[in-house]
């Protein structure tokens, strides 16, 4: 009854009489305080857990940002190194002449390939690459299906609104599976920011706990989400990582992607 009172399930007289008991009976009063303390402890544990999850995601974001910055620095270094070595070659007249011929030949090739390139240039974008490479995810229902039955059922029925809603109602009961399904539902509903948050959360949690549950899926669909979001600079390091890892579940899918097109889209976005 005291727990019902605590949960505000009691009405009218029952509340008044219980409050009377708590006020006058020391034992009941002590019990009441302990119940309150227990509930406060639960609330504090929930808050602590929620902050811990954000902390893990923030650390992961820092790591990704640092990785992308390092990759850009490496690219810039290699470009300036090759520019430097060409500078040495052009120091002599003969080399300069040869260089000029080479440039002319290259220009001819460029003119011949011009029309195709212009078409390619105009047609390639993050969005078009997303359309080309996105395919839905068929759920293996044996993975944790008992705990998220309603969500799994909604996902299999392609009821994205329900999947998203179930995912939204729990912060603490989140698992990598609920985050993944929510992320996929958001991707289907073109809510890319939200999808990205879900996939990053999975990566952060795995990183924090040393686990790999839905890790490969999250990485691949995170990259796809960035493409959909027209932010190819964020997608590229992830796709390159997957391509370099032969054991990655999505290695083959990424291997089939045209990195030329991806880099072209990246160039256009960075212009």
Partner 1 sequence: MKAEVKYTDAELIEAISDDTDLNGAIRFIYRQHAEATSSFIRHYGGSEQDADDIFQEAVVAFIDVVKKGKFRMESNVRTFLASIAKNIWFNELKKRDRAGHRNKQFEMGRPQNEPDVAEHINDLERKKQLRDLVDGLGESCRKILLLFYYENMTMKEILYHLPYENEQVVRNKKYKCLQQLTGLIKNNPAIARQMQEIIK
Residues making contact with partner 1 (CB under 8 A): 3, 7, 26, 29-31, 33-35, 37-52, 54-55, 57-61, 146-151, 166, 169-173, 193, 196-197, 200, 234
Q: What letter would DSSP give residue 122?
A: H
Q: Which of 213, 258, 238 is nearest to 120 (CA)?
A: 258
Nearest CB to partner 1, comparing residues 214 and 226: 226
Nearest CB to partner 1, comparing residues 148 and 206: 148
CA contacts within 13 A on the Cβ side of 133: 29
For the bound state, the minimum distance from the C-beta of residue 254 to partner 1, rounded and expressed in Å, comes to 21
How far apart are alpha carbons 125 and 147 in whole angstroms?
40
Are 129 and 120 contacting, i.e. CB atoms less than 8 angstroms apart? no
Nearest CB to partner 1, comparing residues 156 and 258: 156
Classify the C-alpha dihedral 113-119-125-129 as positive or negative: negative
Beta strand ranges found along 75-168 (DSSP E): none
Are 244 and 93 contacting, i.e. CB atoms less than 8 angstroms apart? no
How far apart are alpha carbons 165 and 136 in whole angstroms?
19
For the bound state, the minimum distance from the C-beta of residue 8 to partner 1, rounded and expressed in Å, comes to 11
How far apart are alpha carbons 112 and 103 in whole angstroms?
14
For the bound state, the minimum distance from the C-beta of residue 246 to partner 1, rounded and expressed in Å, comes to 29
For the bound state, the minimum distance from the C-beta of residue 68 to partner 1, rounded and expressed in Å, comes to 13
How far apart are alpha carbons 259 and 121 in whole angstroms?
14
The SS3 of residue 113 is coil
Nearest CB to partner 1, comparing residues 26 and 87: 26
Nearest CB to partner 1, comparing residues 166 and 242: 166
For the bound state, the minimum distance from the C-beta of residue 213 to partner 1, rounded and expressed in Å, comes to 15
How far apart are alpha carbons 148 and 144 in whole angstroms?
7
Nearest CB to partner 1, comparing residues 37 and 111: 37
Nearest CB to partner 1, comparing residues 194 and 248: 194
């Amino acid at each position: 009854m005291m727990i019902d009172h605590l949960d505000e399930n009691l009405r009218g007289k029952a509340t008044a009489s219980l409050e009377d008991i708590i006020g006058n009976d020391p034992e009941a009063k002590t019990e009441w305080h302990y119940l309150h303390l227990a509930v406060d402890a639960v609330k504090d544990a929930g808050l602590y857990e929620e902050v811990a999850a954000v902390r893990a995601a923030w650390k992961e974001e820092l790591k990704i940002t640092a990785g992308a910055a390092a990759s850009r620095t490496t690219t810039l270094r290699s470009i300036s190194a090759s520019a430097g070595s060409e500078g040495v070659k052009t120091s002599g007249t003969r080399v300069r002449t040869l260089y000029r011929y080479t440039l002319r030949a290259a220009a001819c090739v460029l003119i011949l390939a011009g029309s195709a390139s212009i078409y390619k240039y105009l047609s390639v974008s993050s969005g078009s690459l997303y359309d080309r490479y996105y395919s839905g995810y068929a759920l293996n229902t044996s993975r944790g299906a008992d705990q998220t039955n309603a969500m799994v059922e909604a996902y299999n029925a392609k009821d994205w609104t329900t999947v998203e809603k179930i995912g939204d109602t729990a912060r603490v009961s989140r698992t990598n599976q609920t985050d993944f399904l929510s992320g996929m539902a958001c991707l289907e509903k073109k809510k890319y920011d939200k999808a990205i948050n879900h996939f990053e959360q999975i990566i952060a949690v795995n990183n924090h706990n040393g686990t790999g549950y839905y890790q490969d899926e999250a990485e691949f669909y995170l990259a796809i989400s960035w493409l959909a979001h027209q932010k190819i600079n964020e997608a590229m390091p992830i796709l390159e990582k997957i391509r370099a890892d032969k054991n990655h579940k999505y290695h083959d899918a990424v291997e089939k992607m045209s990195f030329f097109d991806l880099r072209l889209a990246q160039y256009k976005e960075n212009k």
